[in-house]
Amino acid sequence: MSDPLQPHVHDPNPTPPSLDPTLSLGMPDGIEQTLSVSTLLSLPQHVLTGCYIVSTGHGTSGPFEFAGPTLETVLRAYGVFLEREFEVEIWGGDGFGTQVARHELLASNTNRAIILACYRDGALLSRAEGLVRLIVPGERDDALRQVKWVREIRLRASDPQASASVSAF
């Protein structure tokens, strides 16, 4: 069985799964919150310049300037205590996904920050262009972490006993 979080060979999907860019944040305790694009735009925006979508199979595109809140900013804004151990899964609406480790989140003040991009080259991304798109700077594995159409951010406690305290609610 193939693991959707670790696709070693993958044909990129050019077709948005729906027109609606709304996404949800799932806490380890099962609480779900809805995040709209306007919510993401109301948070501090982090600009990443010189980004490439590097795919050995399909060629390289870029450089692009992507902008949006960092994943860390989004999680903190929703009351996630990043001091706890947990894993973050990012799922596109077409079932394509990746994982982000806690140490990657905490690089937020650098040019390696992982963002939920809403803008590309100063213009709001269209749905066809991937709105909302995870950008993992420096990823060089066939763009397998540059998840388009992010539909769900799901937190899982590494220690299930700690799940209740990961959420502030």
Ligand X SMILES: Nc1nc2c(c(=O)[nH]1)N[C@H]1C(S)=C(S)[C@@H](COP(=O)(O)O)O[C@H]1N2
Q: Which residues bind ligand X (CB under 6 A)?
A: 10, 12-14, 53, 55, 58, 61, 92, 94, 96, 130, 142-144, 146-149
Both tokens of 162, joined, read 């700690």
Distance from chain centroid for Cα 1: 24
Question: Residue 94 binds which one of Mo ion, ligand X, none, with CB within 5 to 8 A depending on kind?
Answer: ligand X
Cβ proximity to Mo ion: between 64 and 162 the closer is 64
> Residue 77's closest CA among 101, 54, 100, 44?
44
Cβ proximity to ligand X: between 53 and 67 the closer is 53
For the bound state, the minimum distance from the C-beta of residue 142 to ligand X, rounded and expressed in Å, comes to: 5
Cβ proximity to ligand X: between 28 and 92 the closer is 92
- Are the beta carbons of 156 and 167 closer than 8 angstroms? no
For Mo ion, the binding residue among 54, 100, 143, 153 (CB under 5 A) is 143
Cβ proximity to Mo ion: between 30 and 59 the closer is 59
Q: Does 98 bind Mo ion (CB under 5 A)?
A: no
Cβ proximity to ligand X: between 58 and 140 the closer is 58
For the bound state, the minimum distance from the C-beta of residue 36 to Mo ion, rounded and expressed in Å, comes to: 28
Q: What is the DSSP string of 92-150?
A: ETTS-EEEE-HHHHTTTTSTT--EEE-EETTEEPPTTTTSSEEE-TT--STTTT--SSE
For the bound state, the minimum distance from the C-beta of residue 45 to Mo ion, rounded and expressed in Å, comes to: 26
Q: What is residue 81's three-state secondary structure?
A: coil
For the bound state, the minimum distance from the C-beta of residue 150 to Mo ion, rounded and expressed in Å, comes to: 17
Q: Does 108 bind Mo ion (CB under 5 A)?
A: no
DSSP state of 42: T
> Residue 62's closest CA among 71, 74, 72, 49?
49
Cα separation, 104 vs 119, in Å, equals 21
Site residues for Mo ion per CB under 5 A = 12, 55, 142-143
